[in-house]
Amino acid sequence: MSPVQNVPAFSILILMLCGILCLVLPRTASRRLADCAIALVAAGNIALLLYFLRGADAYIYSMGEIGAPFGNELRAGMLEAAVASLFSIITLLSLMGGRAHLRSDIGRQKVNLYYISTLFLLCSMLALVYTNDLFTAYVFVEINTITACGIVMSKEDGYTLAASMRYFIMSLVGSGLFLISICILYAVTGHLLMSNIQEGVAQLYAQGQYRAPLQVAIALMGVGLSLKSALWPFSSWLPDAHSSASASSSAMLSGLVLKSFIFLMVKIFYRVIGVGIMRSHAVLDLLLVFGILGMVMGSVNALFERDIKRLLAYSSIGQIGYIFCGIGLGTSAGVAAAMVQVAVHACTKAMLFCAAGGLMDASGGSKKFRDIEGAGRRDPYAGVAFIVGTLSMVGIPFFGGFITKLSLVQAAVTVGGWRNLLSILAIITSTILTAIYYINVLAIVFRAPETAPTKASEKLREEWKKQVRLDTEYEFAIILFIILNLTIGLQSDRLMQIITTGLSMFG
Amino acid sequence: MNGIGILIAIAIPILGGAFVPLLDFGSRRARESYVMAIVLAASVYTLSLLASGQGTSFVLYHLTSTIDITFRIDRYGSIFALLVSVLWPLASLYAFEYMSHLHKKNRFFGFYTMCFGITLGVAFAGNFITMYLFYELLTLVTVPLITHEGTREAKVAGVKYLVYSIAGATAAFIGMIAVLSHGGSLEFDVIGLGSAATPENRRLFDLAFLFMFFGFGVKSAVWPLHGWLPTAGVAPTPVTALLHAVAVVKSGVFAIGRVVYFTYDAGYLDGSFVQKVGLLFSAFTIIYGTVMAWKEMHFKKRLAYSTVSNLSYIVFAFLLVTPSGLEAGLLHMIFHGVMKIALFFVAGAVMHQSGRIYVTELRGFGKAMPVSIAVFTVASLALTGIPPLCGFLSKFAIAEAAVEESTPFAYFGIAALLISAIFTAAYLLTICIRAYFPPADFEPWSLKSVKEANWYMTLPLVLLAAAIILLGCFPGPLMRFIGGVVPAAFPGL
Amino acid sequence: MTNAVTLLTISDGLSIQFASDGLGRIFLCLDTVMWILAAIYASKYKEHMKKPKQFFVFFGLTYLMLAALSMAANYLTMYLCFEFMTLLSMPMVLNDGTMESIAAARKYLMYSIFGATLGLLGFFFSAYYGTSAVFVSGGVLDAAKTAGKEGTLLVTAFISIVGFGAKAGLFPLHAWLPTAHPVAPAPASAVLSGVITKAGVLCILRIVYQVYGAAFLSGTWVQTALIVLALITVFMGSMMAYGEDLLKKRLAYSTVSQVSYVLFGVFTMNPAAVLGALLHVVYHSIIKDCLFFGAGAVIFTNHKEYVSQLRGMGKKMPVTYGCFTICSLGLIGIPPFAGFLSKWYLATGSLSEGLPVLSWLGPAVLLLSALLTAGYLLPISIQGFFPGEGEKEAEGKEAPGRMLFSMLVLAAATVLLGIFAQPLSDVMQQIAGGLF
Amino acid sequence: MDLCGFTMSFTTAGIHGLYAVMACFMWFVSLAFSLEYMHHYKHKAQYYAFMLATFGATAGVFLSADLLTTFVFFEIMSFTSYVLVIHDESKGAMRAGETYLAVAVIGGMVMLMGLFLLYDLTGTLKIAELADACAPYAGSGRLYAAAVCMLVGFGAKAGMFPLHIWLPKAHPVAPAPASALLSGILTKAGIYGALIICCRMLAGDEHWAAAILAIGAVTMFLGAFLAVFSSNLKKTLACSSVSQIGFITVGIGIACLTNNLSEMASKGTVLHMVNHSLIKLLLFSCAGVVYMNLHKLALSDVRGWGRNKPLLGLYFAIGALTISGVPGTSGYISKTLLHESIVEVIEEMEHAGEAVWMLKGLEWIFLISGGLTFAYMSRLFFCLFIRKNRAEEVQKGYNNKMHPYMNVLSASVIALPAAAMLCIGAVYWQHHYYTWTNLKGSLTSLAIGGLLCLLLKGKDLKELKFDLEDQVYRPVLLKGLVPLLAGIASILTGLGDNFVRMLQGGLLRQIQPHEERFSPMDWLRGRRFAQRWQEIRMDVLDSANSLSFGLLMAVLGLCVFLIYLVRN
C-alpha cells in the first residue's frame, strides 16, 4: 500500500474541506486557496497516474473499516487516474482562463460562492470517476447538478437565470431516473456495491429471472445519464446553458461535466452489468443511432448559428454524439475511441470557450459574428487558440482531432453490416459540416477590417482595440491550453496506450 | 545527404511563406525579392535533392504504433516534385506583376509560397498518412487564396471548394484506414496488398478503393465531383494557373496514382470491377470536360473545364494499370501542367491588360498583344495534339497504352480521347482565329489602349512556349527519367 | 520506302522521316506545277484582293506543307503535314475578311481537324499492330499480332479513311467544300480544290496500300462500304452542281464528285482502277484549276458571279471561254481530251475486279455523273459562245495577260495529255503496279 | 499508232473503205454547193471549220479498225456536227441543238458503257477479232447487255425508233448542205455501228434479230407516216431519212437472222445505204436551192415555185423515183433485194415449220411503207413543180424567170449524185432483178402509194399534234427524274450540316456571355416558400429553446428506449 494509493480519497476530502473554508475567507485569499487546492489535487492524481504507469494494477480502496454492505469503496485504475488528472488540470486552466470574466460578470462579493461551487463541482466529478458504490455515485451526481447550475447562475443576468433554471429542471429529471434505476437494481440484487451487483446481475441473467426489471433499469440508467450528458434528443437545454454562462464556467461545463456522466455510464455498463451482457445488449444500438443523429443534427444546427458561443455549444452536442457513436459500436476499440474523444474534446472545447471569451473582450462583449470580425487580429492569443482549436476539430494530423477520427474509423471499419456504413456516412457528413462552420468562423475572425461593411463599425473597432487590457493570467492559461492540446496531439500514441490498458483493467 | 534534406526542402517555403504576412516590407521590390529568394532556394534545393538523394527516406514523427510521418524520395514522387519546383518560380514571377493592382499582397504571397512547400510535402510523402496530412493542409492553405478577392462570388467558390475537398479527403481517409485495419500496408515502398487480399475481404478492399478513388477524385475533378474547379475560376490567375492547373489538381491525380500502383498493385486491379468503374468515369469525364469547355464562353471557366477533361486523361492512363499506362499518365501530367499553365497565364495577361474575360471579346488581339497570343496559339496547338508539340506525345502514349489493353473500356477511352481532341481544337483554335483574323470592318484603334504585358508576364510565357516546343521535339531525357518509375511500381517485371 | 531521311527522332517509335517514292513524286510534281501557275495567276488577281500580303504568306507555307506531305515516309509525318496544311490553308479562305468567309474558314478548319483526328485513330492502331513505322507497299500489319483483331482493325481502317476523306470531300464530311470555295479568292479555291483535296487522296492511298495493305482490305465490308460512299459522293456532287447557279459553288460541287472518281478507283484496289485513279488525279487537277482560273477571270474582269449573268460572254472573252470549253469537255470525258482515259481505266478496272454488284454499278454511276457533268458545264460554254441573236450585246472585256497564260497552259496540257497520254500512263502503270 | 493512251488502228478493208469514199464524195458535193448557199450567210468561217472537222471525224469513224477508235471519232463527230446544227442560232435552232446534244451525249455515254462491258467480257475491241471473241458467250446476259448499250449509242446517231426525235427537228434548222450531210452520212455512221453489232457480235442470234427487225419495222413505218403528214419541205425529207433508215435496219435484221449467209440481204443493205446517201444529198440540195431563193420552206409558201425550172424538176424527179423504188432505178434494185431476202427467209422458215406470221407481217409493213414513201415524194414533187400557188401574184412572181435560181457550179455539182444514181441503176440492169416476183413486190407498193396520193391530193394536212419528245421525254426527264434526284442529292449534302447545326442548337449550345446559368440555389432562394421557410425556422428555434420542448424530447427519448429494450 504505497502512500500514493490513497490519493483518490484525499483529493475528494481536500476539495470538500477547501470548499467550506472558501466561504469564510476574503475574496483574494479564497481565490488563492481554490487554485492551490485544485493544483494539489491535480498533482496527486498525476502521481497516481505515474504509479499506475509503472505497472501497478487497479485496486479497491475501502473508506473506513466498515464491512461490505455498509462500507464505501473507491476503485482506482489507470483510466480513472488519467481522467481525473485531466479533469483537474482543465478545471484549473479554465478558472485561470476565465478569471477576467469572473470579475466583470459575477461582481465582487459573490466570487467566493463561485469558488465554492467550482471546488465542489470538481470534487463531485472526481468522486464519480473513482466511486465503486452506486449510491455514492447518486449522491455526487446530485452535488454535481447543484454546483453546475450554481456556476451557470452566477452570471446573474435575466437570460442566464432562465437558462440555468431550465438546465436545473432537466438535470433533476435525469438524476431522478438514475435514482429509480438504482432502486430497481438494489431491489433486484440486494447490493449497492458495483462488484457485488455485477455478480447478482450475472446470476439473474443466468437463471433468466427478473429480465424485464433489469431491462427497465438499464433503460432508465441510459436515459438518465444521456440526459445529463446531453445526448442529442435530450440536449435542448445545453445551447442556452453553455452559451449564457461566463467563459470559465461554460468551459468547465462543456469540457468536463458532460464527460463525467459519460464516464459514469461506461463504468456502470461495464462494471455493474458486465461486459458479457453488454456486448450484445440492445441499448448499444440505441446509443449508436442517437449518437449518429447527434453528430449530424449538432453540426447542422451549428451551421446556421450567428453567435459564437451558441455555435460552440451546438458543436459540443455534435462531439458528444461522436462519443456515444463510439460506445454504441459495442467493441472495446469503440469504447477506446470514445474515451480518446472524451480526453481530446475536453481540452479542445475548454480552450475554444476561453478563446471565445477573449474574442468577446476584444469586440466589446458582443457574441454576434458581425462584431467579432477581425477580433482575431486584435487579440492574437485568442486568434491562435482558435486556429489550433479549428485544426484539431477538423482532424489535421499533429492535432488531437486526427487521432479521434482515426480510432473511431478504425473501430467502425472492423464492425460489419449497417453499423459500419451508417457510422462512416455520419463521420463524413459531420467532418464536412464541422470543417465548414469552424473555418467560416476562422475566416470571419481573421477577416481584414477593410472589407467590413460600414464606416461606423470602423471607429468602433478602433476603440475596442485600445480596450484590450494585458491580462497575463489569461494569456498564460491560453498558452498552457495550446501546449496541452499539442501534447495530446503529438503524444496520441501514449494516450492510446493509457486508455487501452486502462480499459483492460476496467472490467 | 540523409533524409533531413527532404525536411529542409519542405520547410523553407512553408516557414518562408508563413513569415511573409508578419514582416512588413518597405516596398514592393523588397517583398518580391524576398519571396523570389525563398521560392528559388526551395526549388534549386529540391532539384539538387532529386538529382542526388534518390531513395533516401526520413521518419519525422511516430504518430501511433503503426502510423508515422515519413518522407521518402522515390522516382514517382520526384517527377511531381520536378514539375512543381520548375513551374513555381515562373508562376511567382508572373504573380508579382499580376498582383500589382490587387490588395493584401503580403497575405497572398504568404499562402502562395506555403502552398509550394505543402505540394512538395505531398510529393515526398513516404506513406499514406503523411500524404493525407499535406493533402488536407493543401486544401486549407488554398481556401484563402481562392477567396482572396473578397467578392461574394469568391467566397461562394471558396466554400464550395472547401466542402468538395474536405468531403473527398475524408472519404479517402476512411478508405485508407479500412486498408490499414485489414492488413494492407500504407507504406509506399511496399507494393500491393500482398497476403491481405484474401477472397472474402476482397469486397471490402474494392469498397476501400472506390472510397479512395472518389476521395482523391474530387481534387482530380472526376465527373460527378468536378463542380468546384470551374467555380474556382474566379480566383486571381496565378492561383487558377498554378493551383488549378498544376499543384492542387495534380496532387489529386498523384494520389490516385499512389493508390493504384503503390497500395493496390496491378495484379489486384487488372480486369477487376473497380478498374472498369474507374475507366468508365474517367473516360466520361474526358468527354464531359471538353463539351462543357466548348459550351463555356468565359475564358477562364473554359480553361478550367479543359483541365477537368485533361486530368481524366491522366486518371484513365493510370487505371490501365500497365507500365506503359503509368508512363503515359506521368508524361501527360508534366506536359499538361506546362501547356495549361501557359494558357492560364495568357488568359491572365489578357485580363490584366484589357479587363476582358469573355472569349468573344478577343477580336484583333493578335496585333495588340502579339507575344501572348503567339504563346497561346503554340499552347493550344500542343493541347490539341499536333505532332511536333508535346501534347501529341502524351496523347499518343495514352492511346498506345489503351490499344495495348484492347478491352472495350480501353477503346471507349480512345474514342473519348479523339472526341476531346476535336472539341479542344474547337474551343481553342476558334479563339486564335478571332485574335489573328478579325473581320474586315474591325477598327484597330478600338484596341489602342491594350498593350503587351511587361517582361514580368511575358518572360514566363516565352519560357513556357519554349518548353512546350523543346519537350515536344526532344523528350528523350524526360521519358528516360519517367521510365525509371516502372521498376519501382512493378517489382515483378 | 527506301533510304528515308530522318529529320527528328522524338522517341523510339516516333520520328519525322521523309522519303521519295513513286506516289510521292507524282503528287510533288503536280503540286509544284499547279502552284507555279496559281502564283502567276494570283500575281495579277491580287489587285482584287483585300490583304494580298497575308494571302501570299500562307500560299507559300501551304505549298511547303504539301510538298512535305507528299514526301512523308511514315504515318506520323503524314499526319503532321496534314494538320499543318489545314491550319495554313485556312487563312487563305478567309482572306476577304467578310463574316461569311470567316464562318466558312472556321467550318473548313473544324471539318478538316475532325477528319484528321479520325485519321489519328488509324495511326494509334497501326503504330501498335504494325511492324515498321515507315510506309511499306502491301501493308505493315504484323500477322501474328493482328490474328484475333481483324474486326477492330477493319473498323479503325474505315474510320481513318473516312477521316482523311474529309479533306478529299468524301460523302459524310464533304460539306465544307461547297461553303469554302465561293468565298475564297480564285487562286486559293483553284489550289484548294485542285491540289489540297489530292492531299487527302494521297493520305488515303498511303493508308489503304501502304499501312493496312490491299490484301488486308480487299473483299471486306470496308471495301464495299467505302465504294458505296464514293459512289454516293460522285452522284451527289454532280447532281448538286447541276442545280447550282453560283459558278464557283458549281465547280466546288463538281470537285466533290470528281475527287470521288479517284477515291472510287482507289477503293476498288485493282491495278487498272488505281492507274485510272492516279491519271484522274493529274487530269482533274489540271482541268479543275483551269476552270477555277476561268471563273476567277470572269469575276476579276467583269465582276459577275452567277452563271445566269454570263450569257454571251464567250464573244467578249474568247480565250477564257475557249480554255473553259476545252477543259469542260475534258472533264466530261470526251475522248480526245484528258478526262476520257482515266474514266476508261477506272471502269475497266472496276469491271475486272468483279465485286458482286459494284463492278458494273460503279461505271454506270460514273457515266451518269459524266452525263450530269455535261449537263452543268456545257450550257456555260454554249450560252457563252452562242447566246442566240435575240439577246442584247453582253459587255465585258478579256482577262489580263497573266491570267490567260495560266489558263492556256492548262488547256494545252488537257489537250496534249489527252492525246499523247501514253508516256504519262506508262509511268502511272509502273507506280500503280508497285502499290500491290 | 498509239494516241490518247491506247493503240488506235485503222483499216480500209471492205465497208470501211467504201464508206470513206462515199464520205469524201458527199463532202465534196455539199461543200461545193454551200459555196453559193452560204454566200450571204453569217459566220461563214465557223461553218467551214466545223464542216471540215466533222468530215475528219466521220472519216475516222468509218476507217477505224477497233471500236475504241470508232468511239473517239464518234464523240468528236457529235460535237462538231452540233455546231453545224445551231449555225444560225435561231430560237428553234438552239432548242433543236439542245435536244441533239442531249441525245448525242446520252448515246455516247451508254455506248461507252457498252464498250466497257464488251471489253471486260471479251478482252478485245478489234472489229476483226470480235466475231470469234464473242462466240463463246453467245447467249450470255452480259453480251446482250453490252450489245444493247452499244445499239442505243449507235441507234441514237442513226435515228432508230426510240431516239429518232432529234432528226425531224435538227435538219430543218441546219443549213441545207449540213442537213444533207447529217442525214446522208452521219446516220450511216450509226448504221455502220449497228451493222458491226448485228453481223459481227451477235450474228445468227434469233432473239436479237427479231428485236432489230421490230425496231426497223417501226422506224420504217413511223418515218413514212410522219413524212406524209409534215408540211415543211426539209422536215418531210428528214422523216423520209428516218423511214429509209428503218428499211436498212430491216435489212440488217435479216442479215443477222440468216447469220450473214443470205447474200441478198447484206448486198441489199449496203446498196440501199449508198442509194439513200446519194438521194438525200440530191434532195436536200434541191431543198437548199429552194431555200436559197425563197428563204421559206413551208409547202404552202413554196407551192408552184418550180413550175418553170425544168432542171431542178429533173433532179428532184430522179431523186423521188429512186427513193420510191420505181423499177429501173437503183432504188428499185436495193428495195427488191431486201424484199426478196425477206421472202426467202419466210420460205426457209416455212420449210422448217416455224411460225412465220411475224415475218409475213414484216413484209406487208415493208410494202406499205414503200407505198407511203412513193406517196409523200410524189406529193412533194406535185406541190413544188406541178401545182400552182394559191395566191396568184405569188405564182406570177415565181414564174418570171428573171435571174438564174442557181449558178452553174451548184447546178453541175447537184448533177453529180443524180448521175451516180442513174449509173448504179444501169450497172445492175441484169435481168434476174426484173423477174415477175421481184416486180410484183415493187408494183404493189407503188399501187398503194398511188392510191394514197390520190386520196390526199389537194388537202393541206395539218401538223401532227403528238410529238414524242415534248409530250414524253422532256416531261419525264426534266420534270420527273431530275427533281427527284436533285431532292435526294440535297438531302445527302445537307446531312452533315444539319446534324452539326442541330447539335449546336441543342446539346452543344454555347452559353453566351452574361447569360445567367440556372442555379438551383438561387431559384430556391427566390421562391415564395423560401421566405415562408425562414419564418417557420425562426418559430421552431424559439420554441426549441423552451423548457417544454426539452421535456417533450426527453420523454420521447425515454419511450423509444423502453419500447426498444423491452421488445428484445
Task: Give a three-class secondary structure readout of B359-419.
Answer: HHHCCCHHHHCHHHHHHHHHHHHHHHCCCCCHHHHHHHHHHHHHHHHCCHHHHHHHHHHHH
Cβ–Cβ < 8 Å for A161, A167 = no
Q: What is the bridge-based pairing of β-strands C5-9 and C15-18?
A: antiparallel
Contacts A234 to D, Cβ<8 Å: 550, 553-554, 557
**B262 lies in some domain:** no
Count Cα neighbours of D25 within 13 Å in the Cβ-side half-sphere: 20
Q: How far is CA C37 from CA C30, C61, C64, C188, in A?
A: 11, 16, 16, 12
Claim to verify: residue D179 and residue D321 sit in the same structural domain: no
ipTM of the complex: 0.82
Cα–Cα dist A489/A501, whole Å: 19
Q: Which of D457, D30, D85, D504 is nearest to D278 (CA)?
A: D30
Cα distance between residue B122 and residue B120, in whole Å:
5
According to the per-residue pLDDT averaged within each range, which of A228-242, B13-27, D258-272, D458-472 is highest? A228-242
> What is the DSSP secondary structure assignment for residue A193, as one 8-state letter?
B
Give the Cα separation of B115 and C235 in Å (integer): 64
Asked whether residue B385 is domain-assigned, the answer is yes
Our CA-based measurement puts residue B415 at a distance from the nearest CA of chain D, in whole angstroms, of 18
Domains in chain D, number: 3
Cα gap C243→C327, rounded to integer Å: 20
Q: Which pLDDT tens digit goes with each residue over C123-179?
A: 998 888 888 878 888 878 888 888 888 888 999 999 999 999 999 989 888 889 999
Beta strand C15-18 pairing with D2-3: unpaired
Q: DSSP letter at B184?
A: -
Contacts of B180 in chain A (CB under 8 A): 410
Within the 294-323 window of chain A, which residues sit less than 8 Å (CB to CB) from chain D? Answer: 304
Mean pLDDT of B169-181: 86
Radius of gyration of chain A (CA): 22
**Angle at the Cα of B101 (from B100 to B106), degrees rounded to 5?**
55
- Rounded to whole angstroms, the Cα distance separating A20 from A9 reads 17
**CA B330 to centroid of chain Cα atoms:** 11
Q: Does A212 touch chain D (CB under 8 A)?
A: yes
Residue C116 to residue C166: CA distance in whole angstroms: 8
Give residue ranges of C with CB < 8 Å to any B CB: 8, 10-11, 13-14, 16, 50, 76-77, 79-80, 83-84, 87, 90-91, 94, 96-99, 102, 105-106, 109-110, 113-114, 117-118, 120-121, 123-125, 127-129, 149, 152
State the chains in contact with B (3 or more Cβ–Cβ pairs under 8 Å).
A, C, D
Q: In this complex, which chains have at least 3 CB pairs below 8 Å with chain C?
A: B, D
Percent of chain A with pLDDT over 70: 94
On chain B, the residues whose CB falls within 8 A of the CB of D508 are 291, 294-295
Query: Within its chain, how far is the Cα of D542 from the centroid?
Result: 102
Quick check: C127 and B388 CB within 8 A? no
Residue D501: per-residue pLDDT:
86
What's the pLDDT tens digit per position in A30-68? Answer: 888 889 999 999 999 999 888 888 877 878 777 776 665
Q: Residue C131 and residue C124: Cα distance in Å, rounded?
A: 13
- My answer on whether D476 and D562 are in the same domain is no
CB atoms within 10 A of CB D479: 10
Mean pLDDT in residue range A379-407: 86
| Structure confidence by residue, pLDDT tens digits, B216-229 | 999 999 988 998 99
Q: Which of D187, D202, D217 is the last residue of a domain?
A: D202
- Name the average pLDDT for chain A: 85
Question: What's the pLDDT at A329?
Answer: 87
- CA–CA dist D6, C345 (Å, integer): 11
Q: Is B66 in the A-facing interface, judged by CB distances under 8 Å? A: no
Is residue B213 over pLDDT 90?
A: yes
Residue pair A334/A270 in contact by the 8 Å Cβ criterion? no
Q: Which domain holds residue B379?
A: 270-493
Strand boundaries in A246-358, DSSP class E: none
Of the candidates C111, C171, C425, the beta carbon closest to that of D5 is on C425
Give domain status of residue B480, yes or no.
yes
Q: How many domains does chain B have?
A: 1
Cβ of B140 within 8 Å of Cβ of A436? The answer is no
State the average pLDDT over residues B395-416: 91
D301 and D417 inside one domain? yes
Q: Which of B62, B143, B170 sits opposite A432 (nearest CB)?
A: B170
Q: Are residues D183 and D109 in the same domain?
A: yes
Q: Check if D556 contacts A (Cβ < 8 Å).
A: yes
pLDDT at C233 (0 to 100): 92
* Mean pLDDT across A373-401: 85
Rounded Cα gap, residues C157 and C173, in angstroms: 16
**Based on the domain organization, do D43 and D127 belong to the same domain?**
yes
pLDDT recorded at residue B163: 86
Cβ distance of B143 and A439 shorter than 8 Å: yes
What's the number of domains chain C is made of? 1
> Does B63 lie at the interface with C, CB-CB under 8 angstroms?
no
Distance from C-alpha of B219 to C-alpha of B320, rounded to nearest angstrom: 20
Residues of C in contact with D2 (CB under 8 A): 422
Residue in B396, B406, B426 closest to C14 by CB:
B396
d(CA B356, CA B353): 8
Supply D492's cell numbers.
445527302
Residue C57's CB: how many other CB atoms inside 10 A? 14
Q: Does an interface of 3+ CB pairs under 8 Å exist between C and D?
A: yes
Q: Is residue D148 part of a domain?
A: yes
Whether the pLDDT of residue C260 is over 90: the answer is yes
Q: Which domain holds residue D421?
A: 261-485
Residues of chain D with pLDDT under 70: 1-5, 398, 400-403, 405, 431-434, 457-466, 468-469, 544-545
CB atoms within 10 A of CB A9: 18
**Nine cell digits for residue D92:** 428553234
pLDDT at res. A461: 67
Note whether residue B229 is domain-resident.
Answer: no
Q: Among the three residues D451, D485, D519, which one is the final residue of a domain in this structure?
A: D485
pLDDT above 70 (res B311): yes
Q: What is the mean pLDDT of residues C36-51?
A: 88
pLDDT exceeds cutoff 60 at B1: no
Question: Tens digit of pLDDT for each residue in D393-452?
Answer: 777 776 766 667 677 777 788 888 888 888 887 877 776 666 777 777 778 888 888 888
Ranked by mean pLDDT, the top range of A312-326, A426-440, D117-131 is A312-326
Q: Which residues numbered 103-162 in A keep a CB inside 8 Å of some CB on D?
A: none
How many Cβ atoms are within 10 Å of A328's Cβ, its own excluded?
24
Q: Which of A398, A403, A413 sits opposite B181 (nearest CB)?
A: A413
CA D209/CA D198 separation, integer angstroms: 8
Which residues have C-beta within 8 Å of that of residue A482, sequence separation ≥ 6? A351, A384, A385, A388
Do D287 and D420 have their domain in common?
Answer: yes
Q: For B255-290, write each residue's pLDDT tens digit.
A: 999 999 888 877 888 888 999 999 999 999 999 999
Between the alpha carbon of residue B2 and those of residues B70, B81, B129, the distances in Å are: 13, 18, 22
Output the nine-digit C-alpha cell for C414.
Answer: 488537257
Q: What is the pTM of this model?
A: 0.85
Closest-CA residue of chain D to B293:
D510
Which pLDDT value is given to residue A452? 47
CA dihedral D246, D252, D258, D259 (to 10 degrees): -150
Identify the helix (H) or strand (E) that includes residue B70. Answer: strand B68-72
Instruction: Name which residue leads in pLDDT, B345 or D324.
Output: B345
